[in-house]
Amino acid sequence: MTDVALAQATADIRPALVLLVPLVGMALIFLSKDRPNVREAWTVLSSVAMFGLVASMVPGVLDGRVYEANFGEFVLGIDLLIRADSLGMIFALVASGLYVVTGLYSIGYMRGHHEPFQTRFFAMLLVSVGAALGVAFAANVFVLLVFYEILTLATYPLVAHDESKEARTSGYKYLAYALSGGLAVFGGMVIVFVYTGSIEFTRGGIEGLSTFAAEDPWIARAAFALMAGGFAVKAGVMPVHAWLPSAMVAPTPVSGLLHAVAVVKAGAFGVSRTVIDVFGPETVAAIGMGVPLAILAGTTIIVSSLFALRQDNLKARLAYSTIAQLSYIVLGMALLAPEALMGGLLHIPAHAFAKLTLFLCAGALYVQLEVKYISEMPGVARRMPVTMTAFALGSFSMAGIPILAGFVSKWHLLWGGVGGGNLLVVAVLVTSGALNVAYFWPIIYTAFFETADEHGGKPVLLSAFGGRDAPAVADEIRPDGGRVGDKDEGTDEPDQADTDDHEDHDEHDGHRPQDEGEDGDDHDDHEESHDDHGHGHHVELPPADGWERPVGRFRETTPFMLVPLMTTATLMVLFGTMPDYLIFFDLIRDVVEASGAEGVVGR
C-alpha cells in the first residue's frame, strides 16, 4: 500500500485557490445582479480561472507530485486537508473543464428562454461546481463528505429553480435522497475511524484496514456497504435512483450539471475513492463486497435501459440513460481487476463528454422550437442539422460505437470482465449496448429520416410495464406510460402555460434587459414570465408541412448554445480516436498501477 501523500507531497496554495474562486465569483455575481452582462462576465471569468488553476497542476501530478493545502487539525487528528492527486485530478478536470462550456451555454439558454431568477441561477451553478472540486481534492473522507453535502445544498435551488409546486417537490425529494446518502457515508466513516484511527485516503487502502477486515469481516462489510451505498445514491444506482428522473424539472443546463459535470459524477467518484483509497481492491475482494456491488451495478444498467425505452419525454429518456451509464463506473470499481478499474475511471470523462452533448442538444431543441418530446421530432434535423448531428454522435458514444469516447471505456470494462473470467459481465455489457441502440436509434431515425405523416406520433411502447393490455387506439397511452391529456409528471420543465400563444424563439435570441427586482420577483411574476414566452405543450409539433431549413449557415440557434455543444462533441470524438494522447489516460494508469489491484485479477 502506497500513501498518495508520500515523498512527493508539496505544499501549494493552488488547491485552496480553486475553492476560493467560486466564493468570490458568487459574491460578484450577486453584486452585479442589476447588470446582466457584467454578471455573466463574472460567470465566464470564474469558470476560466478554476479550469486554469486545475490545469496548471496537471504537469506536476503527471510527474508524481501531490499538491496539498493544510488548514490544520479539525478534531481527533483529522486535518482539514485539500490535496490534488491523480485520482482527484480526473474528476477535477472533467468538472472544471466542462463548466466552462456549461457556463457559456447557460447564458444562451437563460437568455433565449427568458428564465427568471437568473442571478441566483448563475451563483448556485458556480458554487455547485466549486463544491464538486472540493469533493475531487478532498484528502480524507471527512473533507470529502463536507463538500459532498455542500454540493447537495447548492444544487437544491437549481433543481427547484422553477419554484412551482412540482419543482419544489422534486427538490425536496432530491434533498431527502442525497442527505440520507451522506448520512450513510458518515456512518461508514465513523466505523473506519474507530477501528483504524485514520480516514485519510491512501492508495491501495488505509493502513490497518485490511487487518481489521480479516479480524472482523462483518463490521468491515457494514462499513463498506454504508460508504459505497451512500455514494451510490448520487450515482443513481437502483433502487436509490428515483430522485434523478424527478430532477429533470430543472432547466436543461442544470440537467447537464446533474448528469455530466458534477452531481452524479461526485457519487461515482465517491465509490471510486471508497474502493481504491479507503478499503483498497484487495481488501474489498477479501471481504467479498465486489460481487454484490457488481450485481447492483449490472442490474441497474439493464433495468434502467429498459425504462429508458418507454420515455417519450427526451430529458426523461436521457435521465434513465444516465442511471445506466453511471453504473458502468460502479461496475468497473466492483470488478476490482486493473483493466476494469481503467474502464470505470475512463468512463468518467467519456460519459461526461457524451451526456453533456446530449443535454445541450436537448436544451437547444427546447429553446428554439419548444420540442421536448421524441414524438415531436420527425424531420427536426432539417431545421437543426448541426444540433442533431452532435446528438447522433453522443448517442453512438453512449452505445459504445468505435472511434467515440464511450467505446474506449467500455472496451476496457469488457476486457476487465473477460480477464477476470466474469462472462456474465460481458453479457451485461453486450445487452446494454444493444439497449442503448434500441432507445437512441429511434430518436436519430425520426429526426433525420421521417416526416410528420410517416411518424404519426406513435408511442415507443404501447403500454407501460406491468402487464397492462395495449388499448384499442395506441395513442390513448403516451410513451412515458401516462394517458394522453394527463399532466406531465416531473420529468421536465412544468407546463405552466398550456393555453398560451406560441412565440417563435428565433425572435428572442438577444438578451432581454433585466431590471433590479427581477430576480426577486414573486412566483406570480415568474408564472407571468413563462406565460409570455409560450412554455406550454399546446402547439401541434412537428409542423404539418415539415420543419423549415435554417436561414444561413449555423443559424439554427444562438452561438452561445451552438459552440458549446460542438465543443463537447469534438472532445468526445478526440477522446475516442486518440485516448493515449489525452492526459486522462496517463492519470488513470497512475491510479490503477498504485491501487494494488493486480493481485485480484480473476478472483
Q: Nine-digit cell at 490? A: 416531473
Q: Is the pLDDT score of 472 beyond 70?
A: no
Distances (CA, A) of 347 to 343, 408, 452: 6, 8, 37
The percent of residues in the chain predicted with pLDDT above 70, rounded, is 80
| Number of Cβ atoms within 10 Å of the Cβ of 251 | 24
Q: Is the pLDDT score of 510 beyond 60?
A: no
Residue 336, phi-psi category: left (phi > 0), alpha (psi -120 to 50), beta (remainder): left
Q: Is the pLDDT score of 32 beyond 60?
A: yes
User: How many angstroms separate the CA atoms of 7 and 178, rounded?
Assistant: 36
Q: Is the pLDDT score of 94 beyond 90?
A: yes
Q: Is the pLDDT score of 486 beyond 90?
A: no
Q: Is the pLDDT score of 263 beyond 90?
A: no
Query: Could you read off the pLDDT of 552-569 as tens digits, one per residue?
Result: 656 777 888 888 889 999
User: How many angstroms separate the CA atoms of 333 and 347, rounded?
Assistant: 11
Reported as a pLDDT band with limits 50, 70 and 90, residue 469 is very low
Reported as a pLDDT band with limits 50, 70 and 90, residue 392 is very high
Region 324-344 average pLDDT = 91
Question: Would you state the pLDDT for residue 138?
Answer: 93
Query: Partners of 69 in the beta sheet?
Result: 82
Higher pLDDT, 492 or 581: 581
Residue 383 and residue 547 in contact, taking contact as beta carbons nearer than 8 Å: yes
Q: Nine-digit cell at 385? A: 442539422
Region 333-350 average pLDDT = 91
Which residues, other chains included, contact 477 with Cβ-Cβ below 8 Å and sequence gap of 6+? 459, 462, 463, 464, 470, 471, 483, 484
Direct distance between the N- and C-terminal alpha carbons of the chain, in angstroms, rounded to an integer: 19
Would you mind telling me the total number of residues written for the chain in this entry? 603
Question: Would you state the pLDDT for residue 45?
Answer: 94
Query: Could you read off the pLDDT of 117-156 as tens digits, one per residue?
Result: 788 888 988 999 999 999 999 999 999 999 999 999 988 8
Distances (CA, A) of 362 to 374, 389, 595: 10, 12, 39
- Largest Cα separation within the chain, whole Å, is 73
SS3 category, 121: helix
Q: Is the pLDDT score of 484 beyond 70?
A: no
User: How many angstroms separate the CA atoms of 403 and 174, rounded?
Assistant: 36
The β-bridge relationship of strands 66-75 and 9-11 is: parallel
Dihedral sign from CA coordinates of 503, 508, 513, 517: positive
Question: Would you state the pLDDT for residue 172?
Answer: 85
Reported as a pLDDT band with limits 50, 70 and 90, residue 544 is low
The percent of residues in the chain predicted with pLDDT above 90, rounded, is 39
Q: Is the pLDDT score of 397 beyond 90?
A: yes
Which residues, other chains included, contact 67 with Cβ-Cβ below 8 Å and sequence gap of 6+? 10, 12, 14, 15, 57, 60, 61, 83, 84
Reported as a pLDDT band with limits 50, 70 and 90, residue 490 is very low
As to burial, measured by CB atoms within 10 angstroms (0-12 exposed, 13-18 middle, 19+ buried), residue 276 is buried
Spatial CA neighbour of 409 closest among 438, 429, 388: 429
pLDDT averaged over every residue in the chain? 80
Q: Is the pLDDT score of 88 beyond 50?
A: yes
Region 477-504 average pLDDT = 39
Reported as a pLDDT band with limits 50, 70 and 90, residue 598 is low
Query: Could you read off the pLDDT of 200-254 as tens digits, one per residue?
Result: 998 888 888 888 888 889 999 999 999 999 999 988 898 888 888 887 777 777 7
Of these ranges, 165-169, 524-528, 529-533, the one predicted with the greatest mean pLDDT is: 165-169
Question: Would you state the pLDDT for residue 550?
Answer: 67
**Residue carrying the nine cell digits 456497504:** 225
DSSP H or E stretch at residue 233: helix 217-234
As to burial, measured by CB atoms within 10 angstroms (0-12 exposed, 13-18 middle, 19+ buried), residue 501 is exposed
Of these ranges, 195-199, 271-275, 537-541, 594-598, the one predicted with the greatest mean pLDDT is: 271-275
DSSP string of 149-191?
HHHHHHHHHHHTTT-SHHHHHHHHHHHHHHHHHHHHHHHHHHH
Reported as a pLDDT band with limits 50, 70 and 90, residue 540 is low
CA-derived radius of gyration, the chain = 23
User: How many angstroms separate the CA atoms of 252 and 265, rounded?
Assistant: 17
Question: Would you state the pLDDT for residue 8?
Answer: 65
Q: Is the pLDDT score of 96 beyond 50?
A: yes
Q: Is the pLDDT score of 293 beyond 90?
A: yes
Which of 119-123, 178-182, 450-454, 476-480 shows the lowest per-residue confidence on average (mean pLDDT)?
476-480
